[in-house]
């Protein structure tokens, strides 16, 4: 692993300087190359070890904007464990295991808002803090300890616009616990993304899609700009640069900056007047399986959920500022063009990832080759290997 890890990322002005220098020189940020064995995408034992390790570390669960008000709730399966998040009357976001304490029915389906959580099966009812408020025909359960039978909470923290969960499996050793704590710190110290995410406080939509791909192929999809010209010929390439990125690793995470051609307009302006928001896309890879991507009118939080060795669920939370949300609701045509472009670009990316997944079984390669311009992918695999190694 060669990409140097820093505790944070560069200021916007410094990022612009680096991009303009790369445009002038025809260069891009470079790091170490990486070769990932094809076997690591196909071996059932490896997948099981990954899943077990992933359950022993924290991860981003959902953006805060997905549940802004008391009673708002949203479910998601996290590393095979069904969970949901709900905001209480006290304003706190809590994450619970998504199973009724009667016979385990999944309490929350999809997302919604409710004063209380009522199980559809027999009607057991829970308050927003997880305590039981009502058991129909309670006399039929003479031994039931109602106070002790609340929903089972998962350790979580909400900060800088994200709800982050702790391990969903117990940490077996002190050193494992310390590693999990350090990983939690890397997802809750939000200074690299806070000012990009927090203004986008309005959820526009949530969309989950099943994808016939290994979760790591999907992660790789977001982490390089080497494919812009070939893959996105008529979508992103006309407005972006091919193979020109700023790549910054911070702890286990990475930020990749994709500049738009309008960044060159800044050359004639003093640095004090530089604005970056509509001139780059920042993709923050929040290790292991979440991407936070900024666009001129929206921010996406994308969770990539391993389902089995060659299937994943991708959930996109699209958010925007209150001002843009107002435009979308009153004049949807105004922003439709940009959103349509993004949707077509995503189709193109998924087509490529499906092709990579199919190629894994062709027997042509013993490893996938990632060049020096794709170093964020190397950082991802190196971090994954390191965590697998220390969780043995
Ligand atoms: S399983 Fe929920 S009330 Fe029976
Ligand atoms: Fe792409």
Q: Each residue of 291-303: pLDDT tens digit? A: 999 999 999 999 9
**Closest C-alpha residue for ligand 1 atom 4:** 122
Give the pLDDT confidence score for residue 6 in this predicted structure: 58
Q: How much distance in Å is there from the Cα of 224 to the middle of ligand 2?
A: 8
Tell me the per-residue pLDDT of 335-361, one tens digit each, with 9 for 90 and over: 788 888 888 999 999 999 999 999 999
CA of 350 to the centre of ligand 2 (A): 8
Atom of ligand 1 nearest to the CA of 122: 3
Nearest ligand to the CA of 118 is: 1
- Atom number, ligand 1, closest to the C-alpha of residue 136: 3
Residue 282 structure tokens: 């920042």
Is 109's pLDDT higher than 50?
yes
Q: Whose CA is nearest to atom 3 of ligand 1?
A: 122
Lowest mean pLDDT of 16-20, 320-324, 325-329, name the range.
325-329
- Tens digit of pLDDT for each residue in 150-184? 999 999 999 999 999 999 998 889 999 999 999 99
Mean pLDDT over 263-275 rounds to: 96
Query: How far apart are the CA of 109 and the centre of ligand 1, in A?
Result: 14
Pocket of ligand 1 (CB under 6 A): 100, 102-103, 105, 119, 121-124
Residue 1 has pLDDT above 50, yes or no: no
| Residue 125: band (very low, low, confident or very high) from pLDDT cuts 50, 70, 90 | very high
Query: Mean pLDDT across the stretch 14-41?
Result: 98
For residue 2, pLDDT beyond 60: no
pTM: 0.96
Ligand 1 centroid from CA 190, angstroms: 39
Q: Where are the alpha helices (DSSP H) in the chain?
A: 12-25, 39-42, 44-55, 174-188, 194-197, 215-221, 228-231, 322-330, 333-359, 375-390
3: pLDDT strictly greater than 60: no
How far apart are alpha carbons 199 and 181 in whole angstroms?
28
Q: How many C-beta atoms surround the C-beta of residue 356 within 10 A?
A: 16
Tokens of 377: 């992918």
pLDDT of residue 4 exceeding 90: no
CA of 266 from ligand 2 middle (Å) equals 25
Q: Which ligand is nearest to the CA of 346?
A: 2
Distance separating alpha carbons of residues 42 and 47, to the nearest angstrom: 8
Q: From the CA of 124, give the closest atom in ligand 1.
A: 3
Of 1-15, 57-71, 229-243, 376-390, the least confident: 1-15
- In ligand 1, the atom with minimum distance to the C-alpha of 105 is 1
Round to the nearest angstrom and report the end-to-end CA distance of the chain.
20
pLDDT attached to residue 171: 81
Q: Helix, strand, coil proportions of the chain in percent (round to 5)?
A: 35, 30, 40
Q: Is a pLDDT exceeding 50 seen at residue 209?
A: yes
């Amino acid at each position: 692993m060669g990409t140097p890890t820093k505790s944070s990322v560069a200021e916007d002005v410094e990022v612009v300087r680096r991009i303009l220098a790369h445009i002038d020189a025809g260069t891009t940020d470079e790091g170490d190359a990486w070769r990932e064995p094809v076997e690591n995408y196909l071996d059932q034992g490896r997948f099981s070890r990954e899943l077990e390790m992933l359950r022993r570390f924290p991860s981003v669960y959902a953006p805060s904007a997905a549940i802004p008000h008391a009673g708002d709730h949203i479910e998601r399966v996290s590393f095979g464990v069904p969970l949901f998040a709900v905001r209480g009357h006290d304003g706190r976001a809590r994450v619970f295991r998504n199973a009724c304490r009667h016979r385990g029915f999944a309490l929350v389906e999809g997302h919604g808002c409710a004063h209380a959580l009522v199980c559809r099966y027999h009607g057991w009812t829970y308050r927003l803090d997880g305590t039981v408020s009502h058991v129909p025909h309670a006399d039929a359960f003479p031994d039931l300890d109602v106070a002790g039978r609340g929903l089972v909470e998962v350790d979580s923290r909400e900060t800088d616009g994200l709800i982050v969960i702790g391990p969903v499996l117990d940490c077996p050793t002190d050193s494992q616990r310390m590693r999990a704590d350090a990983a939690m710190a890397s997802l809750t110290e939000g200074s690299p993304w806070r000012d990009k995410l927090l203004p986008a406080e309005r959820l526009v939509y949530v969309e989950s899609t099943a994808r016939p791909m290994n979760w790591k192929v999907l992660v790789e999809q977001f982490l390089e700009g080497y494919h812009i010209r070939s893959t996105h010929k008529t979508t992103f390439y006309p407005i972006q640069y091919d193979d020109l990125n700023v790549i910054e690793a911070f702890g286990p995470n990475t930020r990749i900056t994709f500049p738009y051609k309008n960044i060159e307009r800044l050359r004639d302006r003093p640095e004090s007047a530089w604005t970056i928001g509509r001139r780059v896309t920042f993709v923050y890879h929040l290790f292991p399986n979440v991407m936070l991507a900024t666009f001129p009118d929206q921010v996406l939080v994308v969770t990539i959920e391993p389902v089995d060795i060659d299937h994943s669920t991708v959930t996109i939370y699209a958010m925007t500022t209150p001002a843009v949300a107002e435009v979308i609701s009153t004049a949807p045509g105004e922003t439709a063009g940009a959103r349509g472009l993004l949707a077509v670009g995503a189709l193109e990316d998924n087509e490529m990832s499906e092709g990579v997944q199919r190629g894994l079984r062709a027997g042509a390669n013993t490893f996938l080759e990632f060049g020096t311009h794709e170093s964020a992918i190397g950082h991802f695999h190196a971090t994954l290997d390191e965590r697998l190694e220390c969780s043995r």
